[in-house]
Chains A and B, each alone.
Chain A
Amino acid sequence: GESVGLHLPTLSVQEGDNSIINCAYSNSASDYFIWYKQESGKGPQFIIDIRSNMDKRQGQRVTVLLNKTVKHLSLQIAATQPGDSAVYFCAENLDSGGSNYKLTFGKGTLLTVNP
């Protein structure tokens, strides 16, 4: 029968390699972007964020790149470890005039790190 739900893009890497996870966002007016990591059975865990006035931001082992021209966001993980295995979501925010943010999530990428 027909399967229900999204078929996630998957990325499989060897331990120690660098990983690049990509995301195309939908709204050119979005001004704030977040990458989340979600392990099985857990809530999204904040990794790194970036505002639309920047094109690159670095954290510990992670770098986010933002290309507003093509509405593209990427997450680079250096020296990937088995503990990095999870689903990674990008989320965008558009200030719709309210008092706070509403996040729109992408469909996620499953990263598998092979020892």
Chain B
Amino acid sequence: EPEVTQTPSHQVTQMGQEVILRCVPISNHLYFYWYRQILGQKVEFLVSFYNNEISEKSEIFDDQFSVERPDGSNFTLKIRSTKLEDSAMYFCASSESRENGYTFGSGTRLTVV
């Protein structure tokens, strides 16, 4: 069964450092998303991406965050200057269309120290 692949599975970074979280969506999917989940809390929407541009973003997705699809397979989330409160699980997801449910990756656990 096709999967959304995320790397790394765990990233530890110093506060103020930049991190890039990587995702390989399912190959025939056209819509891409990042969500995050702070430990013990709800999964929260960050950003959606379609046709090489951001479709929608949440209040969490401020100017410290950016996304990129640098080639035909990868979809990345960059946090420019990490804060302690950025510590969370970050999930990438993709979908083929509006009619089909999302597929989530297994997540990257980001720990900011």
Contacts and interface: CB of A to CB of B under 8 A. Distances in A.
Interface residues of B, number: 27
Contacts of B101: 34, 46, 49
A105 B106 contact: no
B40 interface: yes
A32 B101 CA distance: 9
B45 A6 contact: no
Contacts of A32: 98
A36 B103 CA distance: 10
A16 interface: no
Give the residue among B42, B43, B50, B106 with the most A Cβ atoms within 10 A.
B43
Nearest to B38: A5
B75 interface: no
Interface residues of A, number: 28
Nearest to B54: A98
B45 A103 contact: yes
A98 B56 contact: yes
A53 interface: no
Interface of B: 4, 31, 33, 35, 38-45, 48, 50-51, 55-56, 91, 95, 98, 101-107
Interface of A: 4-6, 32, 34, 36, 41-46, 49, 89, 91, 95-96, 98-108
